[in-house]
Amino acid sequence: MSRIESVFKKGHKALIGYITAGYPDIKATPRIAAALAESGCDIIELGIPFSDPLADGATIQKASFEALQRGVTPRICLDIAHKISSKVSVPLAFMSYYNPILNFGLEAFCTHCQKSGISGLIVPDLTPDEGQELENISKTHDLDLIYFLAPTSTAARIEEVAARARGFIYMVSLTGVTGARKSLPPELESFVKRVRQKAQQPLCVGFGISTPEQAKRVAATADGVIVGSRLIQLIDEDATLSSLRAFISILRKALDSCENNR
């Protein structure tokens, strides 16, 4: 069982927090990650800044752009990950588009990820039919390659992801990009149930989750909740991270209440 898989103990609802590596600056990122872990996050998703983040909304695009302007590279992200993994016990997963990984070299990147304490890779623009090479290499370095499913995914794509994803399956709550939203689509529960019929892996839902009520609704049917844009907003609003800590604690309580109701 991988480190990421071990998070999903029977009945436990996982809270996964996304932050952009190097934002608001390189020194702050390990401190932010520690705040997430201490406040109740089970997994930290660490975004590698990229110039063309197609799946990300305005908030994360801005964070990625500013990190790039400060000279943050994949190698620096690896250094940041190493600092974080030496201070926190929760698993780390890199979120990166495929081009930076390919440019770094698949074998070299996975080797450095393992040395830096990374447990998983989330690659939004890598589909299973194009992912076999990275899949094979990541497996030899004990890295879970986490694939995506969207509400528009066909039955064939669901079956393919269910056969090959490791760690968990990242379920996109809606078609579009990341970003805090006032409401989630009404068909979300049926989407989760449709995937549940085919997949044995934990199912985690992201994109658009920004309130405890939304997180609780997701956790009623899914195994984990992924929150990103709202965390970046709170980091921008309060550099002391008090608001971030409080928000994570509230989300944790909301998910724990789902566990207690099982």
Q: Quote the pLDDT of residue 39.
A: 98
Distance CA 210, CA 215 (A): 8
Side-chain half-sphere exposure of 88, counting CA atoms within 13 A: 27
Whether residue 31 has pLDDT greater than 60: yes
Q: How far is CA 203 from the centre of its chain?
A: 12
More confident residue, 84 or 50: 84
Comparing 10-19, 83-92, 184-193, 204-213, which segment has the lowest mean pLDDT?
184-193
Q: Where are the domains of the chain?
A: 5-260
Question: b/e map of 6-21 (b: 16 or more CB within 10 Å)?
Answer: ebbeeebbbbbbbbbb
Kindly compute the dihedral angle of the four CA atoms of residues 145, 149, 153, 154, in this order, to the nearest 10 degrees: 50
Q: What percent of the chain has pLDDT over 70?
A: 92
Asked if pLDDT for residue 171 goes beyond 50, the answer is: yes
Cα–Cα distance, 192 to 215 (Å, whole number):
14
Q: Where is 188: in which H helix or E strand?
A: helix 188-196
Q: What is the pLDDT of residue 110?
A: 98
The two structure tokens encoding residue 240: 């002391």
Residue 232 pLDDT > 50: yes
- Whether the predicted pLDDT of 240 surpasses 60: yes
> 164 falls in which pLDDT band (50, 70, 90)?
very high
Does residue 163 surpass a pLDDT of 90? yes
Residues marked as catalytic? 45, 56
Assigned CATH class of 5-260 = alpha beta
Mean pLDDT of the chain: 91
Would the pLDDT of 181 be above 50? no
Q: How confident is the model at residue 235 (pLDDT cuts 50, 70, 90)?
A: very high
Give 147's contacts (C-beta < 8 A, 6+ positions apart): 126, 127, 128, 131, 161, 164, 165, 169, 170
Q: How confident is the model at residue 177 (pLDDT cuts 50, 70, 90)?
A: very low
As a whole number, mean pLDDT of residues 167-188 equals 68
Bridge partner list, 20: 47
* More confident: 86 or 177: 86
- Residue 208: the pLDDT is 78
**Coil, strand, or helix at residue 80?**
helix
Q: Which residues contact 189 (CB under 8 A, 6 or more apart)?
A: 220, 221
Per-residue confidence (pLDDT) for residue 174, from 0 to 100: 62
pLDDT tens readout for residues 107-158: 999 999 999 999 999 999 999 999 999 999 999 999 999 999 999 899 999 9
Report the pLDDT value the prediction gives residue 202, as an integer from 0 to 100.
96
Strand, helix or coil at 224? strand
